[in-house]
Amino acid sequence: MSQDLSVSVWRSETNAFQEFAVPAQKNQTILDVVSWIQANSDPTLSYRFACRVGMCGSCAMMVNGEPRWTCRTHVKKVLKSNNLEIGPLRNLPVVKDLATDMDPFFDKWVEAKGVFESTKTRHDDMEPIIPDAPERMAASAAIECINCAVCYAACDSVSGNAEYLGPAALNRAWSLVNDVRDGAYEERLEAASGAGGCHNCHSQGGCTAYCPNELNPSASIAGLKKETSRNWFGWGRS
């Protein structure tokens, strides 16, 4: 099509953005732009993707300064006077160029006790759960997270406070607090009350504004704050 896109891409070797001209196409995502550069212009460019349809959460980058899943971000949506600036996701160590090390993100997921504790075994019947019971709805509201770390990159509490578990991990913890099958309520509240816990969220709302799956980690964290507050007064489970 008409004009080439002018794309600046972060390079870790030089610690600077590098300019590329990329042919514009009708159906083009940011991931396509990055792939085009690696395939045609600079074979040493590093980035990460897997599913290419917004399911695996491994392709997130900063696009014009905003965290986004790149495989489902159409160029049209973010192009600013024909310019794009693509960098690695904020708040995570960079492995190379556009690929970050996501381990801290997942370490915190585990630290927030974002893991189900079973009370039954594979030989037991399944828990009957009414789909529109309030706890089920609350757990369900937070569950469709693809752990892409977009929210983690949007959050300045994460940037300011290395201990802070971050929106995704706490969102998962909240989903489990509402899961009637789970057996680790106390431990999870404790994990959410620790030095890196939910109280370090300053309700900046970036997590919710940027979550590509339209989840609301901000509300989940508020839920944890309320639950831990009740617990602090010894009022028990809400």
Partner 1 sequence: MMTVERHDTDILILGSGGAGLFAALHAQQTAPKARITLAVKGLVGKSGCTRMVQGGYNVSLGRGDSVERHFMDTINGGKWLPNQDMAWKLCKLAVERIHELENEVGCFFDRNSDGSLHQKAFAGQTFDRTVHKGDLTGIEIISRLMEQVLSRPIDKLQEHRAIGLIPTKDGAAISGVLFIDMRTGRFRFIRAKTVLMATGGGPTMYKYHTPSGDKTMDGLAMALRAGLQLRDMEMVQFHPTGLLAGDHTRMTGTVLEEGLRGAGGELHNSHGHRFMFDYDPKGDRATRDVVSRGIYAEMRKNNISPNGGVYISMSHLGPENVRNKFPGMVKRCADSGFDLAAGKVEVVPTAHYFMGGVVVDENTRTAMEGFYVAGEDAGGAHGSNRLGGNGVANSTVYGGVAGEVMGQDVQNITALRDPDETVLEEEIVRAMRPLSNKPTLIQPLRTKLQNAMWEDVGVMRTATGLRRGALALDTIDDELMMLGVDDGNLAFNLTWHDWLNLRSLTDISKTITAAALTREDSRGAHFREDFPEAGAMETSTYTLAKRDGDSVKITQQEVDFTIVKPGETLLADGEPETLVGAAQ
Partner 2 sequence: MIKPHRNHPLWFAFLLHRVSGVVLALFLPVHFYVLALALTDPAGLNGFLSLTENIWVKIAEFGLVFLLAAHMLGGLRLMALEWLPWSDRQKTFAVTAVAGAFAISCSFFLSAVQ
Partner 3 sequence: MLTTRLYMLQRITALVMAPLVLGHLAVMIYAVQGGLDAAEILSRTQGSILWLVFYGSFVAAVSIHAAIGVRVVAFEVLGLNKRILPIVAWCVFLALMILGLRAVYAVTLSGAGL
> What amino acid is encoded at 116 in this protein?
F
Round to the nearest angstrom and report the end-to-end CA distance of the chain.
58
- Picking from 87, 86, 89, the residue whose alpha carbon sits closest to that of residue 100 is 89
d(CA 151, CA 57): 12
Among 175, 178, 200, 218, the residue binding partner 3 under the rule CB under 8 A is: 200
Binding mask 35-74 for ligand SF4 (x = CB under 6 A): ----------------------x-----------------
Q: What share of the chain is helix, strand, coil (3-state, %, to 5)?
A: 35, 15, 45
Length of the chain in terms of residues written? 238
Contact 72, 29 (CB under 8 A): yes
Min dist CB 157 to partner 1, Å, is 23
Min dist CB 112 to partner 1, Å, is 10
Query: Which of these ranges, 28-36, 167-175, 180-188, 193-201, lies near partner 3 under the rule CB under 8 A?
Result: 193-201
Rule CB under 6 A: is residue 215 a binding residue for ligand SF4?
Answer: yes
Residues that bind partner 2 (CB under 8 A): 62, 64-67, 90, 153-154, 156, 202-206, 208-210, 216, 218-219, 222-223, 225-226, 229
